[in-house]
């Protein structure tokens, strides 16, 4: 088991203002309700089986991993770093903090306001 103190972590407010690569590991219904523009969506449970999808992520800069509040993204960050697949950083507070910080949200539902589930 990975010690949480060993997982690289940042806050939403400390994310790079431009060009940050965001990997959303929430479930499909959570993603559809509201997600960050330009984020890559790979649910946590699909990560080990989706290594080919990880080619969508850069290998030359950090990938910021996000979920609803930070628990699943911490697990994903630990796995991605241990596997040496990408340089992953957990986003503490997740999409709840993203929304609180007033960051942009999109939804996959027509005529619905984005929300964080």
Q: Which of 7, 22, 67, 74 is catalytic?
A: 67
7 is catalytic: no
Give the per-residue SS3 of the chain: CCCHHHCCEEEHHHCCCCCCEEEECCCHHHHHHCECCCCEECCHHHCCCCCCHHHHCCCCCCEEEECCCCHHHHHHHHHHHHHCCCCEEEEECHHHHHHHCCCCCECCCCCCCCCCC
Catalytic amino acids? 67
């Amino acid at each position: 088991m990975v010690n949480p103190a060993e997982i690289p972590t940042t806050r939403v407010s400390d994310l790079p203002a431009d060009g940050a690569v965001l990997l959303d590991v929430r479930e499909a219904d959570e993603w559809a309700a509201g997600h960050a523009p330009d984020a890559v969506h790979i649910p946590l449970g699909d990560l080990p089986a989706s290594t080919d999808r990880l080619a969508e992520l850069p290998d030359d800069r950090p990938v910021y991993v996000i979920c609803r509040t930070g628990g699943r993204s911490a697990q994903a960050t630990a796995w991605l770093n241990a596997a040496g697949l990408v340089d992953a950083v957990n986003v503490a507070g997740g999409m709840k903090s993203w929304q609180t910080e007033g960051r942009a949200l999109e939804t996959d539902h027509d005529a619905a306001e984005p929300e964080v589930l």
